[in-house]
Structure 1
Amino acid sequence: MAGTTWRLHGDGRQVRPGAVVAPDERLSWPRTIGIGLQHVVAMFGSTILVPAITGFPASTTLFFSAVGTALFLLLTRNRLPSYLGSSFAFIAPIGAASASGGQAGAAGGILVTGVLLALVGLVVHLAGSRWIDALMPPVVTGTIVALIGLNLAPAAWGSCTPDGSCSGFRAAPVTALVTLGAIVLATVLFRGMLGRLAILVGVLVGYACALLRGEVDLSGAREAAWVGLPSFTAPSFDAGVLGLFLPVVFVLVAENVGHVKSVAAMTGRDLDPLTGRALLADGLATTLAGAGGGSGTTTYAENIGVMAATKVYSTAAYWVAAAAALLLSFSPKFSAVVESVPAGVLGGAATLLYGMIGVLGARIWVQNRVDFSDPVNLTTAAVALVVGIANYSWVPREGLTFEGIALGTAAAIGVFHLMRVLARWRGTSQEAASPASVPGGSELEER
């Protein structure tokens, strides 16, 4: 197989001025190991936060994250550096599926999502990726990402069960506020790696606050063994919840395509031919995770930040990261500590994280200069966002329910393509939507 070895970059000690360490190069092994461990630290906060929020075992999630990363590197022939960590897009469907079918039902939804993504990757590899751009233009992609984050907003605040126990921000508002405040301050006060790990720093500060306030139960961590195999859960399948997971496929496609283009821009290489392989690899990694009770995976922007800072794009560093994550996954005590993170800490962190997902959708609009003076774009986003945020539901038959994220995604794709086809058929002009209500709107319309 191509790309199983790396040539040494220069003398292996440093990156030459104006140069980058290419995917098929490496620094000396001690430096490569150090950079690989940086990638572990970068992915750690977000990857662990997903099982903490969803209740999945942290060690199992880490195990499949490591295995998925190794699989990704193999399938892309060591030409595309990437770490596969837990995807936040799965949080909402996992929560809904777990409420009705437990973790096994959620795992079944993750497995189906992985299979569909792998099929998309196979089609892209054989036929090219232009059809993805046609099916999911930026206005649709941005809307889907945004509605997933905003649909999660009520979960950040939390809900109370009949027995009086609460989760999220309302469970322990002081701890949640300390956690959120620590993340905000760490983001602006720290530089370099520590600044990029602001969420992890905030969670640690919040956890310390929760310990002082007596909100942490460490009995499970005390009883857990230091070394042991991760716990695995066989998936089950329920048609009533599978529809909740389908929109995640579109998000994972957008994230993988964006990752390929970002790395291509930073390395100066044409990586578009690897897009299909990347989607296939992430799909298979998510399928494996679902088969064993782990959270679904995606390519991680956090690790792109590490590459941008170090100028080291060597896939050798990612093999080190995968090996380190695999070792961590064989510690039940570590998993038990993660599971002891109290609701207040999770609520504070989730307040920011869910909002960030929503804003990332808007960022896609901005970066691609989506024109909302076009009523097709405006109507697509408007309808889909309300459907997703208000959590509309549709029950076509007993036991089968489609809710906000699934319906919002269907609305985004359906409304856009229906309006575009009808507009072309009728030959109607794309007039600006209320340009007078926007300062400078008439000038923008003329341009």
Structure 2
Amino acid sequence: MARRRILPGFGWSLHGDGKTIRPGDVVAPDERLSWFQTTGVGMQHVVAMFGATFLVPVITGFPPSTTLLFSGIGTLLFLVITAGRVPSYLGSSFAFLAPVGAATAQYGMGGALGGIFMAGLGLLLVGLIVHFAGPAWIQRLMPPVVTGSIVALIGLNLAPAAWDNVQEGPVTATATIVAMLVCGVLFRGLLGRLSILLGVVVGYIVAVIRNEVDFSEIGEAGWVGLPEFTTPTFHIGVIGLFIPVILVLVAENVGHVKSVGLMTKRDLDPVTGRALMADGAATMLAGTGGGSGTTTYAENIGVMASSKVYSTAAYWVAGTFAILLALVPKFGAVVNTIPDGVLGGAGTVLYGMIGILGVRIWVQNRVDFSNPINLAVAGVPLIIAIADYTITFGDVVLKGIAVGSLSALAIHHGMSAIARWRGTDAGYEDSDPEAIATPINRRDIDHLEAGGDLDDDLSGK
């Protein structure tokens, strides 16, 4: 019998003897193994999320320790709001990179934080609607052809930023790129999924050998202390920059819930709205103090798939450990010493993976590009984003990602309306409730259940 919960998302029944998982079984979200094993799995989650989570603040110039703190707090908040039904770690979202960079250049870090806060508020409101109206309307608003386009254009829009950093240390950048790519195929299981982190470590070592790292900040930092906090400022001009991020976060969260539901054989659709609200609340919290916007992490789905442990207890361990790690200033100082060459190499790989993740969404949902509507929805927004088209309405500036995302929605729904009026092909099928961006699709899950290993790179936050 399950234990009486002290608060939502806290309290678990012991799975079996607490030590073994029988073939075909999984440790459910409301169960746990022994605390020793649960702690071990929780530490795996920290390692899995770390490479991607800390790169976002380093690239954007935010304090890494602050982002890590709000990431840990956000994860615990997520577990409470979803009542412990959806195991997930909330790490830094790559979708925020471009808008944060643009907002920082125009309004400073405070303005970027204001945009993060507003994006979180928007996601929370979407979650409220989904909670009461259900998630089906999201599929109609953002079918796979639209979602794939938005995800792809975010990655491709960031290409110039990667090149700028590569030029600061081309040799180090090349070493980082090669290390990431080789680690992705050289190792299996968890190490294979840590190719981002391993590549950064190799690139950092190369940078040290080439005297590109300044260690002075590490010596000045203490061992225990609070991270640096920054208050947000609010400007109407950043709204257009962050609207596309909300669309991506919706797709990522809905996809995460669907994936976990399939893997645990539970109907989690009723908790989709809670998941969106929880991520929105965590992102708002991060925006109030200097953290990066959050999202559910596909990297941690890989850990769950390989360990068969979906217990939210492991995520309480992971979130708590992240908070404790954030309270070590010397650790944050080490992360801050990562040079531009390493960031350029990592960005080249990561931004490319984000772009191809959009293509993967098209492929796994069998988007028909012989249809002129789908072709236009995929093609036009990508050009807009790559060229960074800019539209100005008074104080509101819409740049490549915002213009491209809104174009994807407008082209799809506008052309489909005309096609329906004329009696031609509407351009998509909306009868498949699973046709949405998911970090792991049904084919992946069938492979895992057959005893396979999850070697695919699941990054692309």
Question: TM-score range, shorter-chain basis?
Answer: over 0.9
Q: How does 1:266-305 map to 2 (within 5 A)?
A: 266-305=263-302
CA deviation after TM superposition for structure 1 residue 241, in Å: 2.3
User: C-alpha offsets along residues 90-133 of structure 1, whole Å, 9 cap, x if unaligned?
Assistant: 00111111111111011000000000000000100011111111
Deviation at 1:240, TM superposition (A): 1.9
- The structure-2 alpha-carbon separation of the partners of 1:112 and 1:265, relative to structure 1 and needing over 3 Å to count, comes to same
Please say if residues 375 and 430 of structure 1, whose CA atoms lie closer than 8 Å, have aligned partners that are also in contact: no
Task: Say whether residues 1:176 and 2:182 are aligned partners.
Answer: no
Distance 1:120 1:278 in 2: 11
Q: Which TM-score applies when normalising by structure 2?
A: 0.90
Give structure 1 regions of 4+ aligned residues with deviation exceeding 2 angstroms.
1-4, 428-432
Contact 2:91-2:297 within 8 A present in 1 as well: yes
CA contact (8 A) 1:111 1:286 kept: yes
Kindly indicate whether residue 255 of structure 2 is the aligned counterpart of residue 258 of structure 1.
yes
Deviation at 1:400, TM superposition (A): 2.8
Q: Which residue of the partner structure matches residue 73 of structure 1?
A: 79
Q: Secondary structure at the match of 2:28?
A: coil
Q: Does 2:7 align with 1:13?
A: no
In 1, Cα distance between equivalents of 2:56 and 2:10? 32
Over aligned residues, Cα RMSD in angstroms? 1.2
Judge which range, 92-101 or 301-310, deviates more.
Answer: 92-101
Instruction: Provide the secondary structure at the position in 1 that maps to 2:295.
Output: strand
For the residue of structure 1 that corresponds to 2:229, the secondary structure is coil
TM-score, normalised to structure 1, is: 0.93
Q: Does 1:44 align with 2:50?
A: yes
Indicate the SS of the match to 2:167: helix
C-alpha displacement at 1:24, in angstroms? 0.7
Q: Residues 392 and 24 of structure 1: is their aligned pair in 2 closer, same or farther, counting only changes over 3 Å?
A: same
For 2:215, the equivalent position in structure 1 comes to 218
Once the two structures are TM-superposed, the CA of residue 408 in structure 1 deviates from its matched residue by 0.2
User: Bigger shift: 48-57 or 191-200?
Assistant: 191-200
Contact 1:264–1:270 (CA under 8 A) maintained in structure 2: yes
CA 1:343 to 1:2, structure 2 compared with 1: closer, same or farther past 3 Å?
closer
CA distance in 1, matches of 2:27, 2:101: 41
> 1:98-177, aligned counterparts within 5 Å?
98-158=104-164, 168-177=165-174
Q: Given that residues 221 and 337 in structure 1 are in contact (C-alpha distance below 8 angstroms), is that contact kept between their aligned partners in structure 2?
A: yes
The percentage of counterpart residues that share the same residue type is 65
The equivalent residue for 1:405 is 401
In the aligned structure 2, how far is the partner of 1:228 from the partner of 1:216? 24
Q: 2:66 aligns with which of 60, 64, 68?
A: 60
Which whole-Å deviations, capped at 9, do the CAs of 1:53-72 have from their partners, x for residues lacking one?
11100111011101110010
Q: Tell me, what secondary structure is at the counterpart of 1:298?
A: strand
CA contact (8 A) 1:253 1:279 kept: yes
The answer to whether the 8 A contact 1:183-1:198 is kept is yes
Change (3 A) 1:215 1:393: same
Output the amino acid matched with 2:85: R
Equivalent residue for 1:423?
419
Give how far 1:3 is off: 5.0
Could you say which residue in structure 2 is the equivalent of 1:436?
none
1:429 Cα deviation from its structure 2 partner: 4.5
Q: Equivalent residue for 1:96?
A: 102
**CA distance in structure 1 between the aligned counterparts of 2:83 and 2:185, rounded to whole angstroms:** 38
CA distance in 1, matches of 2:377, 2:84: 39
Question: Residues 431 and 270 from structure 1, CA distance in 2 versus in 1: closer, same or farther, beyond 3 angstroms?
Answer: closer
- Secondary structure (helix, strand or coil) at the match of 1:327 reads helix
**Residue in 2 that maps onto 1:365:** 362
Structure 1, residues 146-177: CA drift from partner, whole Å, max 9, x if none? 0000000111111xxxxxxxxx1111100000
Structure 1 CA distance for aligned equivalents of residues 310 and 252 of structure 2: 18
Q: Is the 8 A contact 1:20 1:313 kept in 2?
A: yes
Is the CA contact 1:179–1:203 (under 8 Å) kept in the aligned structure 2? Answer: yes
Structure 1's unaligned 5+ residue stretches are 159-167, 433-447
Q: Deviations over 1:394-417 (max 9, x none)?
A: 1222x4311100000110000110
Match runs of 1:229-378 below 5 Å: 229-378=226-375
Letter in 2 for 1:55: G
Give distance in 2, aligned partners of 1:114 and 1:429.
Answer: 36
Number of residue pairs matched by the alignment:
422
Structure 2 unaligned segments of length 5 or more: list them. Answer: 1-6, 429-461
Q: Secondary structure at the match of 1:171?
A: coil
Within the candidate set 79, 87, 91, 1:85 is matched to: 91
Q: For the Cα contact (< 8 Å) 1:373–1:431, is it kept in 2?
A: no
Conserved? CA contact 1:241–1:400, under 8 Å: yes
Task: Give 1:285's aligned amino acid.
Answer: A
